[in-house]
Amino acid sequence: MKAREILRFNLLYQGRRITPWLYSAVLGLIAFGAVRSNFLPDARRELFLLNSPYVIAAATVLSCLLWLLLGASVAGNAAARDMQSRMYPLMYSAPVKRSEHLWGRFGAAFLVNAMVLGAVPLGILLAIYAPGVEAEYVGPFRPLAHLSAYGLIALPTAFAATAVQFTLACLGRRAALSYLASVVLFMTAYVIAAGVAVGLQMRVLGRLIDPVGVVTIIGYFSDFWTPDQKNTLLPAFDGIVLLNRAVWVGLALLALTVARRGLEPAAMYRSARSRRRAAPVETTVTEAPRAITVPEVDTSFGFATRLRQTLATARRSFRTVVRGRGGAVLLLPIAAATALYMVWNLDFMGVPLVPRTDLVLTFLTASLGDPRSAWMIIPLLTVFFAGELVWRDREVGQSAISDAAPVTEWTLFAGKLIALACLLALWMSQLAIAGIVVQTGIGGAPVELDLYLKVLLGIQLTDYVLFGLLALATHVILGDKYVAYLVTLLAYGAIVLAPAVGIDHNLLVFASDPGWSYTDMRGFGSSMSGWAWFKLYWVAWAALLAVAARILWVRGPETRLRPRLDRAALRMTRVTRFAGGGALGLIVAVGAFILYATPFADARWVVPDAVEEVVEATEVEAVAPDAHPWLTATTLRVEIYPDSREATIDGTYSMVNASGAPIDAIHLTMAPGVETLGVSFDREGELQETDGSEPWSYALTAPLSPGDSITMDFEIRYAPRGFDDRGVDYWVVPNGSYFTNLDWLPVVGESRRPQPPIASDEGAPLQQWRPDVDRVAFHAVVGTAQDQTAIAPGVLRRSWEEDGRRYFEYVTDAPIVNEYAFFSADYEVSEAAWNDVLIQFYHQRGHGRNVEGMLEAAQASLDRYSEWFGPYQHKVLRFVERPGLGVGLHADAVNIGFEEGFALMDPSRDLRGLDLPYSVVAHEIAHQWWGTDLRPAFLPGAPVLSESIAQYAAMRVVESALGEPALERLRSFMRTETQVPPLRAGPPLFRAFGWFDAYRKGPFALYALGEYIGHDAVDRALQRLLEEHRNGTPPLPTSRDLIQALRAETPQEFQPLLLDLFVGNTFWDIEATGASSTETETGEWRVSVDVRVAKVVADQDGVESEVPTEDWVEVAVYAAGASASDPPQYLERHYVGEVEQTIDLVVPMRPSRVGVDPRFLLIDWDIDDNHVDVDTGS
Amino acid sequence: MDLRIRDVTKTYSNGVEALRGVSLSISPGLYGLLGPNGAGKSSLMRTLATLQLPDTGSIHLGDIDVVAEPDRLRRTLGYLPQEFGVYPKASAIDLLDHFAVLKGVGGRAARKEVVETLLRQTNLWDVRKQKLGGFSGGMRQRFGVAVALLGSPKLMIVDEPTAGLDPGERVRFLNLLSELGETSVVFLSTHIVEDVSELCTRMAIIDRGQILLETDPTSAIDGLSGKIWRRVVSKSDLPALEQSHPVVSTKLLGGRTVAHVYADTRPGPDFEASAPDLEDVYFCTMAGHIGNGVREEAGVAP
C-alpha cells in the first residue's frame, strides 16, 4: 500500500517536471531521424523493407542507446532527491519499510522512463507512415514487430538501466551519478561488447553483455541475416536476445538489492557528509568566553590578487573533481583497458606491428566528434564533470558565502575552466602512460615523448578543453543542471552527427578542423596550418561563450534567466565589452580568412580505388563512349618543391586515333586540385576553356582520321592556396610527397572523365570509360630537393644535380598502363638482382626491418612467374614507401607503393609462424602480370582477374619457395575470416566485386581447380589469356574470358566443378559421418567411410537452393601411429553421386582416421567435421 | 561611512512583494533589523550583500554604489548568511585559507596569521584540521563568522547569526559585533528582541516588506512609558479581554496568562502599569499602535 502511494507521489512529481517530456520529444525525433536518415536510403536500395522487423528493432536499439545518456536524470532524481533536498530525516523516519521506499521510487522512475521510451515506437511509426516514403518500400503492417521491439528491447533496457542508474545514485546519494552509470552502460553497449564479440572473438559473450542491443541485435543481424530474413523474422525473439534480456533483468534485480542497503537510515548519515569522520566533532574548549578581536589585514585587488584567486578557485575545484568525484581514477581502468587492447591489437590481421609512437597514438586519439571511437567517453565524462564544477558550490550551500566574496565572475569561470583543463590533461597523461607502457613492454620502437606531448597535450587537449568550455558555459547560461546536461549532450550529438546530415564545413561544427595526421615519414605534413587557423577561430567562439558565461553567472538565489539578464547589463564592464568585442572581431576576421584560404566548391575527382564502389549500380547504361584518341606516349618534366609544397609539370601526350571514325574534337578534363597553365596541340583547332569540372574541348579544324596521330603539350601547376576545409591533401610535403597521374594530369576523352563508374556485365564498351587503360611509352625527368630521391616508373637513365636540386630521368622499356605515381623523399635503398632485373626497396631510414626477406620473396616471385606466366616486361622492379600508417600497397607497372604501416610488420613475432610480408610481396609482384600487364575491364568480376589470380600466384610462390607447411600456414591464415562463416548471399565469383570474394574465395577456388586439373593446366590457360590481352587493345578481358580459358584446359569430368566454383555461388557441406575398418585375410585393411556431401547455390538475397551432388571428392586415410604432420597413407579422389554415400577402400596399414576433402579444397566454411576417427571394431 | 538605502523595492516572480519602498540610513555602529519570519529581512540582507538586484531604489555605502559596483562593495563586505553550507571534505584551515585568498588577503605569511587568529578567536583552532562535514551546527556557524570577519570588513551583514550558537558563544559573538560597530557598519537581522536591545544603537522593525519603525531602542522604550498596562487573566477570559482592549502581547507566567495592553491611560482597575521594554515596542509596532503602520481606525496619535 505504502509502496503504491510512494509510487503515485513520485510519478506525479516527476510528471510535473519538464525534463521527462523534453526527453520524450527528443527521443521521438531521434527514432524518426534514425529510420529516415539511416534506414530509408538502404530501403530504397532494396536491402530490406522500411518497416521490416529488423529496421524497427535496430531503430529502437539506436534510440535506446542515446536515451541512456539523455534520460539518466529520471532515475537519479528518484533515488537521490530526498538526500539532496535534505528531506530524508522527514521521509525516512516515517514508518515505511525500506523495500517499500525502494519499489515505490524505483517503480516510478521505471514507469516514467517507459513513458519516455514510448516516444520511440511513435517516432518509428511516424517515420514509416508519414508522407515522404514511397509505398513500395513499406510492407504490410505487422503490429508484433513494433510490440516486440518495445516490449523486448526498450522495456528491459529501461528496467536494467533505471536499476543501475538508481543504484549508483542511491549509494552515492547524488542524482548526477546516474549519468555516470549511463556512461558506463553506454560504453559497455557501444564499445566493450563489440570489443569482446569481434576483438576477442567471443561472440556469444559479447552479445550477452550488451545492455542495449548494439552488438546483440544490430551488429549480429545486420551481418548475419539475409535481406529475406531481415524482412520476415523478428530479431527480438532470437534465443541469445532473450537470454541477454534475462541476464540484464537479473542484473537489475541484483543491483536493486544493493540499492536497498543505500536506503538504510544508518547509511544516510554515514557517507553523505563524510565517510571518514562518521561522528560529529565536538570542541572541548571550556575556557571562559573572551572577546574576539578581528585582526587588521591589508587586502588588495590588483592583477596579482585576481591571479591568486583564480588559481585558488582552480585548485579547490580540481581537488573537488579529482578526490570527491573520482576524476583522477575514472579514466585509469579505461587507460589500462586500452593498453591491453593495444597489446592485443597492435597487429595487422594477426601479424604483430612494431609499436612505433605514431602507430600507438592512433589508438589513443580521435577527433572530438568521431562516433566510431571509444574516446567518445572523454567528452561524455566532460559533460558530467562540467556540471559538477558549476553546481558544486550551490549544492553544498557554500555559494551563500562565496557569492558575496570579492571575486569576479571571470575569476570563478576561469578557475573552473582551469580545473577542468587540468583534469583533461591528467587524463591525457594517463593515456600517454598507457602508450609508453605498451611501447616499452613490447619493445622495438623508441618512446617519442615529445610526440606524445604534442599530440595528446597539444592537439587532443585543445579539442577537449574547447568542448569543456562549451559544457561549462552551457551550465552557467541555462542555470538548470539537468536541462544543461541535456543541451550539452545534444550539442555533442550535433558535433557528431553534423557531417552525416551534410553540415560538414568546419566553420559550422564546434571545435572541428580539417583533420591532421602524423606519420614517422611525413611528420604532420601540411596539416598543422589549417588545424591552427580553425582552432583559433573556435577559440574565439569559446571566448565569446566565456563572456556570455561571465555576464550570466549565477550569483545569489536567482537562477532564472530573466533576472540574470537584467544584471548582465551591469556586468558589461569595460574589460568584458572589450573581450566580447575582441572575440567577435576575431571570429569574423579568422572566419573570413579561412573562407578566403580554403577553396570553395572544390569538386575533387572521384577516382574509385575500391572496387566496392561498383556495387551501387548494376544496370547497363548504354552510353556509347565518344570517339577520342588513345594515348601512346607521355613525356613529362616534373618539378617537385617539397619545402614550399608546390610542383609543376610540363608534359606532352602523343595520341593516335585508334577508333574507326574521324575525330572532330578532343575533350579534356582538367584535375580540379591543380591549375592548368597552358594547353596546345600540333594540329590546328580552337581551344575552348571552361572552369570548374566541365571538360575543355579542342575543335579540330581538320578532323583526325583513323590511324592519324596528334600531340598535345600542357603545363600544370600545383600550388595550394592555404589549406582545405575538407581534409588535408598531402600530395607535396617536406618529406614523402606522393601523387599519381590520375590525381593531376589532364584526361583525354569526355566519357573517360573520372567518376563513379557504372558497371555492367553486358557488353564490352563500358571499359573504355577509365582513363588508365591506355598503354603509353613513358619518359620523365623529375626534379626535387637536393637531399631527396624522386621516383617514377621506368629505368633510371641518369641522375644529376642542377641549381641546388636533384634530377632523375626515367624511361620505360615497355609500354605501361596509364596509371603511375611519383614519389619524393629522403630515401634509403636496398637492392638485389634477379637475372638482369634490378630489384630495389626504397624506404625511410629505419623502416627497413623486413627488407631482406622481401628481396628474397621478390626474387622467388620473378623466378616463378616468368616461368608460369611469361617474362617480366621491365628491367627494374621497385618497392617504394609512402607516408601512411595503413598497410596498403598499390602495384603500378614497375613501381609498387607501400604505406609505412607495411614496414611496421614484425613477422618474427607472429606465433603462427606466418611470413605475411613474404606472400604480400609475391602478391604485389603478381600484379605486374595480373592487373598491369593484363588490365581487366572495370566490370563485376574484375577483381577475380587481378586480385584473385595474384593471391593464387602468391600461394604457389610460398608453396614452391618456402614449402608445403608455409603454404598451409598461409591457407589457414586466409581462412581466418571463415571461422565466423560469412554470409553466403552474394554473386558468383565471375561477377564478384567484394573483398572476401576477391582475396579469399577466388584464390581458394583457383587453387582447388589447380589441384584438380593440375596447376600447369591453369598456367596454360592464364598464359593464353595474357597473350591475347597484353597489348591492351579493346575489348579488354573480363572474367568470362578467364572462365573460357580455364574451360579449354579443364577435362570433361571437372567441367561441373569449374562451373560450381566460378559460375554458381556454390557451397559444399562436406562431412565425414563415420568410418569403420576390418582386417582382410591378406593383412590389409578394408575401410568403409560414410560421407555426406551436400551442395547448395545461394543467390544475392541469400535464398539457397539445393543442387544434386555429382562431385569428385578427395578421401584420405591416416595410418595408426602416424603423427599429424605425416602425409596420409591413402589420398584419392572418389566420385560421390549422392548426398550420403559410403566409400569402401583398402589400405595396407591399420587406419586410425579418415578425412573427406581433407585438404579443404572445396568451398565449405565448416572444416571441423571433415575428419573422423576410424572405428576398428576391436 | 554610512549605508544609505533609498526606496528599495523587490517583487519576486511569484508576486510576493518582498520589499516595498525600504529607505534606511545607517551610520557606523550596530544596527538591528527586527521582524517576523517572512517580513523581508533576508531579502534586504541579500540585496545589501549584492546577491540580488532591487527592482528600484538605490543603495550606497559611502561612495560605493552597491547596485552598480557590486565588486567594490564585496571587497569590504563581511556577510554571514542565515543558511549556508561548506565543502564537507575540506578541513577548516584549508577552506578558511581559500576564502582568505578570495577576499584578497595577499601574502602567504599575512594570510597564515589572519587565518590562525580567526580560528583561535572562533574557538576552532583545535579542530582546524578536521573535515567540515563533521562539524556541529554551532561550529559551522562559527566558521561562517570567521569567514565573514576575513579582510577587515567595513560593512558586516549578519542574517540571524545567533540562531545556532550556545549562550557563551552568543555573548562572545555579540561582543565582537559591537566592537566592530565602533568602526564599521554592522547590519544585523534577527527575530530575537534581546539581541537588539542588548547591542544596537539604532534599529528598525520591518514587516511585509515595509519599515514600520526606525528608531533607537532607548527612545522607543521611553516613548511607550506609561502606555503599557498588564493584567493577569485566565485563559478563558482572554478572548473577552482581546475584544475589549488593544492587547499587544500575551505571555504565560506560572500557568497563567499575562496580557500587555496598549493604552494612553489606565484601562481599568484590574490593570497595573508595566515598565515597557523593547518587546513591547516590537509588538506595539506590529499591532499598529506606533510607527509607520499606525492604523487609521485606531485613532491614536503616536
Residue A911 CB-density burial (10 A; 0-12 exposed, 13-18 middle, 19+ buried): exposed
Q: Does the beta carbon of A304 lie under 8 angstroms from any beta carbon of chain B?
A: yes
Evaluate whether A848 touches A913 at the Cβ level (below 8 Å): no
pLDDT bucket at A362, cuts 50 / 70 / 90:
very high
pLDDT for residue A621 = 33
For A855: left if phi > 0, alpha if psi spans -120 to 50, otherwise beta; the answer is: alpha
Q: Collect all residues of chain A within an 8 Å Cβ-Cβ radius of residue B110.
A: 297-298
pLDDT for residue A539 = 96
Do B257 and B139 share a structural domain?
no
User: Which 8-state DSSP code applies to residue A294?
Assistant: P
Nine-digit cell string for A557: 538565489
The alpha carbon of residue B41 is apart from the nearest alpha carbon of chain A, in Å, by 15
pLDDT bucket at A881, cuts 50 / 70 / 90:
very high
State what percent of residues in chain A have pLDDT above 70: 92
Evaluate whether A343 touches A349 at the Cβ level (below 8 Å): no
Do B114 and B99 share a structural domain?
yes
Q: Collect all residues of chain B within an 8 Å Cβ-Cβ radius of residue A323.
A: 89
Domains annotated for chain A, with CATH where assigned, are: 2-271 (no CATH), 338-529+545-580 (no CATH), 599-755+766-819 (2.60.40.1730), 826-927 (1.10.390.10), 929-1063 (1.10.390), 1065-1178 (2.60.40)
Do B235 and B168 share a structural domain?
no
Are B51 and A407 inside 8 Å of each other by CB?
no
How many Cα atoms are found within 13 Å in the side-chain-facing hemisphere of B59? 24
The alpha carbon of residue A17 is apart from the nearest alpha carbon of chain B, in Å, by 18
Q: Does the beta carbon of A404 lie under 8 angstroms from any beta carbon of chain B?
A: yes
Are B88 and A292 inside 8 Å of each other by CB?
no
Pick the residue from chain A with its C-alpha nearest to B127.
A283
In chain B, the number of structural domains is 2
Strand partners, A738: A823
Please check the confidence at residue A1023 and state whether its pLDDT lies above 90.
Answer: yes
Find where cell 548582465 sits. A568
- Helices A1015-1029 and A851-868: crossing angle, nearest 10°? 80
The alpha carbon of residue B13 is apart from the nearest alpha carbon of chain A, in Å, by 9
Evaluate whether A1098 touches A986 at the Cβ level (below 8 Å): yes
Do B257 and B196 share a structural domain?
no
Q: What is the pLDDT averaged over residues A925-946? A: 90
3-state secondary structure of A163: helix
Strand partners, A651: A636, A714
Please give the Cα distance from A952 to A736 (Å, whole number): 32
What backbone phi and psi angles, to 5 degrees, belong to A626? Answer: -70, 160
Strand partners, B190: B34
Do B280 and B172 share a structural domain?
no
Q: Which of B185, B215, B245 is the last residue of a domain?
A: B215
Evaluate whether A976 touches A350 at the Cβ level (below 8 Å): yes
Q: Mean pLDDT of all residues in chain A? A: 87
Q: Collect all residues of chain A within an 8 Å Cβ-Cβ radius of residue B59.
A: none
Nearest to A312 among B67, B101, B126 (CB): B101
Q: Which of B56, B102, B149, B172 to mutate to test the interface with A (most CBs of A within 10 A)?
A: B102
Least confident piece of the model among A478-492, A735-749, A1069-1083, A1119-1133: A1119-1133
Do B119 and B232 share a structural domain?
no
Q: Which of B162, B182, B215 is the last residue of a domain?
A: B215
Nearest to B134 among A281, A291, A408 (CB): A281
Pick the residue from chain B with its C-alpha nearest to A397.
B85
Closest among A695, A728, A780, A335 to A525, alpha carbons compared: A728
pLDDT for residue A96 = 75
Do B95 and B7 share a structural domain?
yes
Are B102 and A404 inside 8 Å of each other by CB?
no
The alpha carbon of residue B257 is apart from the nearest alpha carbon of chain A, in Å, by 34
Residue A1039 CB-density burial (10 A; 0-12 exposed, 13-18 middle, 19+ buried): buried
Do B260 and B149 share a structural domain?
no
- Helices A409-442 and A527-552: crossing angle, nearest 10°? 140
Q: What digits encode the pLDDT tens for the residues A177-194?
A: 888 899 899 988 888 888
> Which value, in Å, is the radius of gyration of the alpha carbons in chain B?
22
3-state secondary structure of A783: strand
Q: Collect all residues of chain B within an 8 Å Cβ-Cβ radius of residue A558.
A: 52
Q: Does the beta carbon of A301 lie under 8 angstroms from any beta carbon of chain B?
A: yes
The alpha carbon of residue B254 is apart from the nearest alpha carbon of chain A, in Å, by 32
Nine-digit cell string for B200: 544596537
Nearest to A281 among B49, B70, B127 (CB): B127
Are A407 and B117 inside 8 Å of each other by CB?
no
Q: Which of B215, B249, B269 is the last residue of a domain?
A: B215
CATH code (residue B149) = 3.40.50.300
Do B64 and B197 share a structural domain?
yes
Are A284 and B126 inside 8 Å of each other by CB?
yes
Nearest to B102 among A296, A304, A402 (CB): A402
Q: How many helices (H) and strands (E) does chain B have?
A: 10, 14
Are B103 and A405 inside 8 Å of each other by CB?
yes
- By residue range, what is the domain housing residue B14? 3-215
Please check the confidence at residue A601 and state whether its pLDDT lies above 80.
Answer: no
Please give the Cα distance from A389 to B298 (Å, whole number): 57
Please give the Cα distance from B36 to A442 (Å, whole number): 75
Please give the Cα distance from A69 to A487 (Å, whole number): 11
pLDDT for residue A615 = 34
State what percent of residues in chain A have pLDDT above 90: 54
Pick the residue from chain B with its C-alpha nearest to A412.
B102
Q: Which of B11, B43, B89, B159 to mutate to test the interface with A (most CBs of A within 10 A)?
A: B89
Are A408 and B71 inside 8 Å of each other by CB?
yes
Question: Can you spell out the DSSP letters for A261-281?
Answer: HHTSHHHHHHHTT-SS--SPB
Do B208 and B69 share a structural domain?
yes
Pick the residue from chain A with its C-alpha nearest to B129.
A281
Maximum Cα–Cα distance across chain B: 71
Question: Can you spell out the DSSP letters for A117-135?
Answer: HTHHHHHHHHHHHSTTS-G
pLDDT for residue A835 = 93
Do B59 and B178 share a structural domain?
yes
Which residues, in sequence order, are CB contacts of B95 under 8 Å at separation 6+?
B86, B87, B132, B143
Please give the Cα distance from A172 to A257 (Å, whole number): 15
Nine-digit cell string for A197: 564479440
Do B61 and B119 share a structural domain?
yes
How many Cα atoms are found within 13 Å in the side-chain-facing hemisphere of B273? 8
Strand partners, A718: A647
Nearest to B89 among A324, A400, A557 (CB): A324
The alpha carbon of residue A175 is apart from the nearest alpha carbon of chain B, in Å, by 17
Q: What digits encode the pLDDT tens for the residues A283-294?
A: 444 444 455 566
Cα dihedral A590/A596/A601/A607 (nearest 10): -90
Peptide bond before residue A1035 is cis, with ω within 30 degrees of 0: yes
Least confident piece of the model among A203-212, A218-227, A1056-1065, B112-121: A218-227
Q: Which of A268, A294, A322, A571 to mutate to test the interface with B (most CBs of B within 10 A)?
A: A294
Render the burial of B204-220: b for 16+ CB within 10 Å, e for the rest.
bbbbbbbbbbbbebeeb
Sheet containing A1171-1173: order of strands: A1130-1136, A1111-1119, A1151-1156, A1171-1173
Please give the Cα distance from A289 to A294 (Å, whole number): 15
Q: Residue A1048 is inside which H or E element, if any?
A: helix A1039-1049
The alpha carbon of residue B49 is apart from the nearest alpha carbon of chain A, in Å, by 6
Q: How many helices (H) and strands (E) does chain A have?
A: 42, 30
Are B106 and A558 inside 8 Å of each other by CB?
no
The alpha carbon of residue A582 is apart from the nearest alpha carbon of chain B, in Å, by 23
Sequential pLDDT tens for chain B (302 residues): 789 999 999 998 888 899 999 999 998 889 999 988 888 888 999 899 888 889 999 999 999 999 888 888 988 999 998 888 888 888 999 899 989 988 888 788 888 999 999 998 888 999 999 988 888 888 888 898 899 988 888 899 998 887 767 788 788 778 878 888 888 899 998 878 888 887 888 999 999 999 999 998 888 889 888 888 988 888 888 888 888 888 888 888 877 888 898 888 888 888 888 888 888 899 888 888 888 877 654 444 33
